[in-house]
A and B are shown apart, each in its own frame.
Chain A
Amino acid sequence: MTKVEAIIQVSKLDAVKNALPEIGVEGMTVFEARGHGRQKGHTEFYRGREYTVDLIPKVKLEMVLADDMVEKAVQAIIASARTGKIGDGKIFLSRTDDAIRIRNEERGNTAL
């Protein structure tokens, strides 16, 4: 079982959200997030005063997948979220020990 965390451009959320069910991903959790990597911030002007906005709005998707799904999901995210410019985001993968469905206490891959 692997947790997939993808931080993507806000404008690419729809494309990614539509691409994942097509390869069989059944659920995801989406967060509105702020942050920066190499892209750094941008500047805004208020009454002539310059402010640097370091943390740029992003969207973070989280899903836990059976291991055989992971690579397909990663490719689907890359294909639908890429613009080729700086600021496209990152994907993190990490091991997850178990999953439990609260309704009926199913465990493991059947709970996903």
Chain B
Amino acid sequence: MRKSLTVCLLVAMVSLFPHCAAQTSSTNTYPSGAKAVSDAQSERIAKLEQAVADAKSSGDNAWMLTSSALVLMMTGPGLALFYGGLVRKKNVLSTMLQSFALMAIVTLLWGLVEYSLAFGSGNSFIGGLHNVFLRGVGAQPDHDYAATIPLQTYMIYQLMFAIITPALISGAFAERMKFSAMVLFMILWSLIVYAPMAHMVWGKGGFLNAALGGRFPTLDFAGGTVVHVTSGVSALVCALYIGRRLGYPKQNMTPHSVVLSFIGACLLWVGWFGFNAGSALSAGSLATSAFVATHFGAASAALGWSAAEWLRNGKPSALGAISGAVAGLVAITPAAGFVSPMSAIVIGLLAGVGCYFMVAKVKMRFGYDDSLDAFGVHGAGGTLGALLTGVFASSTVNPIFKDAQGNTLASGLLEGNAHQLLNQLAGVAIAWGLAIVGTLAILKIVDLTIGLRVKEDDEIQGLDFSQHGEEGYNWEAPE
């Protein structure tokens, strides 16, 4: 905008003082063609330039608003259905409501203070308070973040990530946490874990920011560390701290409706295009590249999980196929926008098989009750994806690293930049550390103030009735 203003001013000056302009053009050394540009023509060129910039901006903005809506759809109904189908009948509403409640709670929190802590200017670890109450977040773009869309669009897009991330954790303590405790936990978690992590990876001056000069430039296109590692690892901490559900693992706790989970997973897949391709923050070829990688990653992970299951149990299951797709989407999240479609297939395949192994073998072995596999899928898949991004990142797909002369440098290990794997490791280690320490502290606070678990009777009766006074499936409703 400032640039176009300058252009307009120049055009105005030139038309006011035509003799000056003529004098200048007669003394300069431009080739003769340039001399012939008349005042009317230069005015037209300036207008055209403005029109081109406006068109790009409105194209980018259209995609980013669409992406924002897609990412919100991932939480509700996507994740709500995915998780809702996996619990027992008596807990379906309470599980779905946890996702939905975060759509409302995090939205207000974000507007009041969380956006500023994540994306406002601050130090290397957390943003400042300059943007509280969304001060200064308006129609003008922020050139550091996204030069062609209003900062308000960027803010609302990032909000959708801040909603789904804590919602993912709820899978670990499903069917046993008090609603009030969940609300307090999530508010504190958003401020203490999410905001600093988002700032470190994506914020101005962030410690791990690869695009804006961080000390350990970690490649994380759409939130492998910020979203999936933090939520997945926090989920594991929650599962260990809160303890198992009553009756686990002896009692039968089969998913009450794989059909609901199926619909949810398919909505997640579609919504993920907004999550990953939207992270290009524009509607150009980078968005396409991320879109394609996302799709290939999901497909190959669905096949990977199914194949592993088929070999071990003799049958490929619907729940396995959709869980695999979600695992692949998780793993491709940091890599989309940096890797080719063929690399995406490899990443997806490793994630599909790896996450199956995590939930089918590792969880059984250690006996923790990560009820809906938030750690097994998001923690493990996110960690794997973040590390593999350091292996497969390609400067042909996205020339992110440049030297002082502007020449493109190697991105990932396969291109010869072994150091990137260490940067990825640093990003992952910080995400793990912050998630473990932050979540433990928050759990302790909530435990000591309002208590984490529902009473034993309430858990047996089900959280739908004991926490919310209603039932998901009301068989006795009048006809």
Contact = CB atoms under 8 A, between A and B. Distances in A.
Given A46-B254, A47-B360, A48-B356, 20 more contacts: A44-B254, A45-B309, A45-B313, A45-B315, A46-B255, A47-B320, A47-B323, A47-B356, A47-B359, A47-B373, A48-B309, A48-B312, A48-B313, A48-B359, A48-B361, A48-B364, A49-B360, A49-B364, A52-B252, A53-B252
Nearest to B319: A46
A45 B364 contact: no
B317 A45 contact: yes
A51 B88 CA distance: 14
A47 B252 CA distance: 14
Nearest to B249: A49
Most-contacted residue by chain A among B312, B317, B356, B373 (CB, 10 A): B317
A47 B319 contact: yes
> Which secondary structure dominates where chain B touches chain A?
helix
Interface of B: 252, 254-255, 309, 312-313, 315, 317, 319-320, 323, 356, 359-361, 364, 373
A107 B90 CA distance: 44
Nearest to B376: A47
Contacts of B254: 44, 46, 51
> Which secondary structure dominates where chain A touches chain B?
strand
Contacts of A44: 254
A44 B356 CA distance: 16
Most-contacted residue by chain B among A46, A47, A53 (CB, 10 A): A47
A112 B309 CA distance: 54
B50 to A, nearest CB: 56
B309 to A, nearest CB: 7
Q: Which 7 A-B pairs have the closest CB atoms?
A: A48-B360, A45-B313, A47-B359, A51-B254, A51-B252, A46-B254, A46-B319
Contacts, number: 30
A45 B319 CA distance: 9
29 contacts: A44-B254, A45-B309, A45-B313, A45-B315, A45-B317, A46-B254, A46-B255, A46-B317, A46-B319, A47-B319, A47-B320, A47-B323, A47-B356, A47-B359, A47-B373, A48-B309, A48-B312, A48-B313, A48-B356, A48-B359, A48-B360, A48-B361, A48-B364, A49-B360, A49-B364, A51-B252, A51-B254, A52-B252, A53-B252
Interface residues of A, number: 9
Interface of A: 44-49, 51-53
Contacts of B359: 47-48
A51 B320 CA distance: 15
Contacts of A49: 360, 364
Contacts of B323: 47
Contacts of A45: 309, 313, 315, 317
Contacts of B317: 45-46
A12 B309 CA distance: 33
B26 to A, nearest CB: 79
A51 B252 CA distance: 7
Contacts of A47: 319-320, 323, 356, 359-360, 373
A5 to B, nearest CB: 24
A90 B381 CA distance: 50
B428 to A, nearest CB: 24
A46 B360 CA distance: 9
